[in-house]
Each structure stands twice: as C-alpha cells, then as structure tokens.
C-alpha cells in the first residue's frame, strides 16, 4: 500500500492506494465520525463491492445504511440530494454520521455534496472505484450536482476525511472507462510533471494491460500531482485552474454532442490534442512536442478528432463555460511538456484554426 497526504493544515487528509484495502478497517477507522455510516453507491458498483465495504464497517461495529443510485450521470441531480438527505433524516442520522462514496465520479461528486450540506456538514470518505475517480474526482474536494442548464453548476468545495482507493476494484472496469481515466493521467504529466509524461510514453502498454506495478505508479503519481496543486490553491483562485488543461475544448465537445456520445475523458483527450495545437500555433511549444502529445493520446486508444459541427457552435459553448470570465474564454496552454500557463488572451482566429484542424 502507498499513502500520501493532501496538505491543508487542520483539514489535511490521507489518500491510501493499494490492493485489497477495501477490507482494511484500520484505514477507515480514523476517518469515521462517532455515529452511523451511510454508503452511497450506484447500481453497477453495488453488486460488485458493496458487501465488502459493508463487512469492513461492520467490523468497526458501525450501523450502516445503503443508498443505491441508478448508474449514470443523470443521477448527479438535486432530486437525488433530496432523496439522500431524506433517507438520512428518516433513519435519524445526526451530525455525527459519516457518508461513504463507493463508486465513480458521479457517486463521489453527489456524496461529497450531500456531506457538505447535510446538517451543514458531516464527514465524508471517498472510496473511488473508477480510474477517473481515483486519479481525479475523489481528490481535492470539488463536489456537486448538475443543473438542467449546466454541468456541475450547483456545488461546494468540501474535502473528504480520507480517500481509500482499492486498485482491485479496477479489475471490473470496462476498457473504455479505463482509457477515459487515462486522459486525466496524461494531463498531469503535461501540466506539471515532464518525467511522468516520459514514463507514460515508455510504459503505456503495461498501463493498458493494467499490470499491477504500472497501475500503482499511475495512480500514485496522479494523486500526488493533484494533491500538490490542490494544497497550493484549494479554492481555485488561480493555479488550480491548470487542472483544466484540455477541458475548455473538452467541455465544448461534450456540450455540443449533447453529453453521452463521448465519455468525459475522451472529450478531454481531444481537448488536450487541441490545446497542444493551439499552444504550437502561439509558439509556446515546438512541433516535435505537439507530435509527442498526439502520439501518446493515440497510443492510449483515445480519440483525437471532434465531430464536425459548425465552429460557431463550439465557440458558443466555450463562452458559456465557467472558465469564460469577463467575456474572454480562458485557456490552459502548454509552455513545453510539464508546464502550463493560464491565459485569456488567445486570438479567436487561432482557436477557430485549431478546431478546424481536428474535426
């Protein structure tokens, strides 16, 4: 097992990564409040891992309530916050309870938000079961639900007490979901960690084969990169925005295609390819660097082309994206592999050329 910390002073918390750790009560005990526990999960994950987590919590003599949501992004709704809080109230759960999120980013985001608002805040433990959730959504405290008018538009920054990532749970993860998570992994190398990017170039076959050592390294490095950035800018006052590399284009692709055609990581992969292209057009990176980025996304089996919609459609979505401030679309660009810049100063013609080049 490997453990690291998100360093936020009194609210610091551990991230534990390892095989079989879902069964280790000693990892859960320090993160639990004194009262009962509610496990929130989804309909795909429940038949696979719910019993194991239940058993671990029972060893700690905890009363456990289970709430199983339908699998899928549509469950990240205010209606389900009403449902979850209603179940907790009916069961008599007080401020001393703990919510455990067992699942992917959907379960993690809604559970974290439920924990933030239930009785003005109760303890939360993230138990991520997708690669995306292990390397990204479970770490850093961004929680929330979707509004019919926009994704993640209702939420809170609310840190968990612990993240417990049992890598055995990835055995059952469909290949497409696994590759999708790798887009965020590649992102960390690009924004922050040149050595990690090179390592990924050399070991992508082992990663795709889900070899235990390679997988452990991918998750550890990603969590460390994310934890470091979050520790320096918890509330996204500035630096943390670099985690959105590929996301300005990516969100526009998800929105333009009506969510569902592309998994989030797939849209981000195309977005990364586009951000690299835009960076090269603005002379921030060399063509050879752009080619390496493209090749790694390709080698991961992720898409590199966006569907051919009118450029104006993509641009319209970018302007409503939450990163557009003062009417200017903010981009995260690369200044070489391993280094990112945030800029609101990109000529619209260059953005259009990039979109055109990857449709």
Which contiguous run of DSSP H or E holds residue 116?
Answer: helix 105-117
Name the token pair of 272.
């990364």
226 an active-site residue?
yes
The least CB distance from residue 349 to ligand NAD, in Å, is: 31
Specify the stretch interacting with ligand NAD by CB under 6 A; choose among 22-30, 38-46, 90-98, 288-296: 38-46
55 an active-site residue?
no
Q: Which of the residues 161, 179, 224, 251 is marked catalytic? A: 251
Q: Which of the residues 187, 217, 244, 323 is marked catalytic? A: 244
SS3 per-residue string spanning 7-74: CCHHHCEEEEEECCHHHCHHHHHHHCCCCCEEEEEECCCHHHHHHHHHHHHHHCCCCEEEEEECCCHH
- Under the criterion CB under 6 A, does residue 222 sit at the interface with ligand NAD? no
DSSP 92: T
240 an active-site residue?
yes
Give which of 27, 39, 259 is closest to 162, Cα–Cα: 27
251 an active-site residue?
yes
The least CB distance from residue 355 to ligand NAD, in Å, is: 23
CA distance 252 to 256: 6
Total residues contacting ligand NAD by CB under 6 A comes to 27
Q: Is 35 left (phi over 0), alpha (psi -120 to 50) or beta?
A: beta
Residues 39-98 binding ligand NAD (CB under 6 A) are 42, 44-45, 48, 71, 73, 76
Q: Which of the residues 179, 226, 292, 330 is marked catalytic? A: 226
Cβ proximity to ligand NAD: between 85 and 152 the closer is: 152
* Backbone φ and ψ of 69, nearest 5°: -90, 160
- Under the criterion CB under 6 A, does residue 137 sit at the interface with ligand NAD? yes
- Under the criterion CB under 6 A, does residue 236 sit at the interface with ligand NAD? no
Question: x/- site string to ligand NAD, residues 157 to 176, per CB under 6 A?
Answer: ------------x--xx---
- Under the criterion CB under 6 A, does residue 177 sit at the interface with ligand NAD? yes
Binding residues for ligand NAD, rule: CB under 6 A, are 42, 44-45, 48, 71, 73, 76, 103-107, 109, 129-130, 132-133, 136-137, 140, 142, 152, 169, 172-173, 177, 264
Enumerate the active-site residues.
120, 142, 184, 226, 236, 240, 244, 247, 251, 264
């Amino acid at each position: 097992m490997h453990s690291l910390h998100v360093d936020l002073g009194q609210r610091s918390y551990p991230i534990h990564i390892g095989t079989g750790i879902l069964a280790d009560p000693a990892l859960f005990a320090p993160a639990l409040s004194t009262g009962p526990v509610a496990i929130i999960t989804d309909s795909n994950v429940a038949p696979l891992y719910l019993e194991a987590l239940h058993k671990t919590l029972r060893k700690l003599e905890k009363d456990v309530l289970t709430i199983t949501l339908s699998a899928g992004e549509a469950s990240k709704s205010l209606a389900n916050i009403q449902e979850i809080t209603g179940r907790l109230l009916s069961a008599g759960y007080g401020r001393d309870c703990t919510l455990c999120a067992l699942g992917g980013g959907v379960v993690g985001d809604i559970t974290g938000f439920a924990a933030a608002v239930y009785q003005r805040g109760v303890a939360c433990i993230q138990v991520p079961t997708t690669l995306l959730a292990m390397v990204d959504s479970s770490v850093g405290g961004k929680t929330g639900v979707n509004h019919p008018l926009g994704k993640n538009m209702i939420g809170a920054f609310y840190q968990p007490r612990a993240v417990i990532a049992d890598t055995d749970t990835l055995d059952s993860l469909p290949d497409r979901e696994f590759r999708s998570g790798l887009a965020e992994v590649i992102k960390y190398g690009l924004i922050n960690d040149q050595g990690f990017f090179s390592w990924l170039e050399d070991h992508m076959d082992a990663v795709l084969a889900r070899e235990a050592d390679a997988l452990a390294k991918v998750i550890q490095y990603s969590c460390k990169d994310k934890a470091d950035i979050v520790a320096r800018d918890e509330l996204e006052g500035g630096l943390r925005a670099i985690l959105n590399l590929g996301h300005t284009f990516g969100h526009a692709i998800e929105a333009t295609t009506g969510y569902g055609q592309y998994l989030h990581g797939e849209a981000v992969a195309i977005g990364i390819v586009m951000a690299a292209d835009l960076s090269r057009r603005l002379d921030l990176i060399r063509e050879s660097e752009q080619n390496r980025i493209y090749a790694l996304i390709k080698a991961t089996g992720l898409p590199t082309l966006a569907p051919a919609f009118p450029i104006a459609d993509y641009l319209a979505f970018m302007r409503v994206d939450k990163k557009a401030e003062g009417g200017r679309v903010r981009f995260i660009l690369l200044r070489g592999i391993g280094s990112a810049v945030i800029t609101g100063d990109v000529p619209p013609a260059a953005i259009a050329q990039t979109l055109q080049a990857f449709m």
